Amino acid sequence: MGATHRIAVIPGDGIGTEVVPEGLRILEAAASAFDFQLDYEQFHYASADYYTKTGTMLPDGWFDQLNRFDSIFFGAVGWPDVVPDHISLWGSLLQFRRHFDQYVSLRPVKLLPGITSPLAGREPGDVDFYVVRENTEGEYSSIGGKIFEGTDRETVIQETVMTRTGVDRILKYAFDLAQSRPKKHLTSATKSNGISISMPYWDQRVEAMAQNFADVAVDKYHIDILTANFVLHPDWFDVVVASNLFGDILSDLGPACTGTIGVAPSGNINPERKFPSLFEPVHGSAPDIAGKGIANPIGQIWSASMMLEHLGETEAAAAVMTAVEDVLAVGGDTLTPDMGGTATTKTLGEAVRRQFETNT
Ligand code: NAI
Ligand code: MG
């Protein structure tokens, strides 16, 4: 009998509650095909309903409760009619990211069959890379302040924080990932021409880390031309590593270049496994289509594949993606409306599960 993985499941709000069951459907199929156990428990906090009942997004004991799990499988949080977005986000997801030291934000950027890229003439295979974003420090520090408010001398300062520990650990993660891929190519996002202290430091740490990875080809671009190259030459990239702010921008731009937001997944990862990592689709709760049963479940299913990879179930993770690609390649009515079809969340989720069972 294989390993047992303990998973906390948090559907959240809106279409989160519709796509999470489709993720669980494929996870269950994967567990029985690849002989491992999934021991999961659902939590209904981190949602507008919970907030309405309790006045908070999370209960007091959330940290100890979730810390017992190997991973967190998350839907989406946010229902702006009931809870302001800064409260729902800061009160839940951002707490998880900080307290569980999920310092890697990992987003695959891959053009799947059956999906039209907004970049003209691009085919599956042309776009297949990862954005690795530093998720805890950098430009998003709260060090700084305001003085002379309301006067002519009004002054605001917010500092960028780069620690050697923080920079080296994200670089190591990105180099390891690049080394594990056929192209073994790492691109660093910088701006050392304009930001003259922190970014030259980042470049210097990239050079130092590269010494440990002789087989990885390294290049770097300033963030301005790098964004242009994502659009003009997406085939140039394999693993792109970036500070918090640059990574935030690149990790939305990248998936946007591969079509619908409904398919994009992400991992918030603590690589040392000291704390649980969290896997979720890139999209939010989509209030405009929530309750209609037409949300695209592929982002959630792909997140399930990333979670399996993290849990060491590499073959199962790959088989999930093969099933997704096979179903999307058939296209037509099997697809949800955002991809041009007429399918519901459930029928597409079920099609992926059936394909998975046929393949395995
Ligand atoms: P959104 O991602 O929820 O929706 C943007 C647009 O994409 C909408 O038109 C929606 O219908 C469409 N869309 C999103 N996912 C889809 C799917 N799976 N299938 C088909 N269409 C899909 O972003 P929006 O509208 O800016 O935010 C709505 C709420 O979600 C807000 O409360 C926001 O704070 C929250 N949010 C939460 C995130 C998270 O939990 N990580 C991430 C982004 C937003
Ligand atoms: Mg963002």
Beta carbons of 244 and 261 less than 8 angstroms apart: no
Say how many C-beta atoms besides its own lie within 10 A of residue 225's C-beta: 10
Ligand nearest to the CA of 264: 1
Q: Which atom of ligand 1 lies at the shortest distance from residue 338's CA?
A: 20
Collect all residues with Cβ–Cβ distance below 8 Å to 27 and sequence separation of at least 6. Answer: 7, 38, 73, 304, 307, 308
Q: What is the ipTM of this complex?
A: 0.98
Q: How confident is the model over 275-328, as pLDDT tens digits?
A: 999 999 999 999 999 999 999 999 999 999 999 999 999 999 999 999 999 999
pLDDT tens for each residue of 87-112: 999 999 989 999 999 999 999 999 99
CA 60 to centroid of ligand 2, rounded, Å: 27
Judged against a pLDDT cut of 90, whether residue 261 lies above it is answered with no
Distance 14 CA to ligand 1 centre (A): 9
Q: Is the pLDDT of residue 1 over 70?
A: no
From the options 3.40.718.10, 3.40.47.10, 3.40.50.720, 2.60.120.620, give the CATH code of 128-257: 3.40.718.10
DSSP-derived pairing of the beta strands 277-281 and 265-269: antiparallel
Ligand number nearest CA of 282 is 1
Q: Region 12-21: what's the mean pLDDT? A: 98
The mean pLDDT of the chain is 96
Residue 123 tokens read as 């085919």
Position 332 confidence tier, pLDDT thresholds 50, 70, 90:
confident
Instruction: Name the segment(s) of the chain with CATH classification 3.40.718.10.
Output: 1-105+266-360, 128-257
Contacts of 147 (CB under 8 A, 6+ apart): 153, 154, 155
Q: To which CATH superfamily is domain 1-105+266-360 assigned?
A: Isopropylmalate Dehydrogenase (3.40.718.10)
Task: Calculate what percentage of the chain has a pLDDT beyond 90.
Answer: 93
CA dist 354 and 256 (Å) reads: 28
Q: Is the pLDDT of residue 151 over 80?
A: yes
Q: Whose CA is nearest to atom 4 of ligand 1?
A: 286
Give the Å distance between the CA of 163 and the centre of ligand 2. Answer: 22
Closest atom of ligand 1 to CA, residue 83: 32
Distance CA 50, CA 268 (A): 23
Contact predicate 43/274, CB 8 Å: no
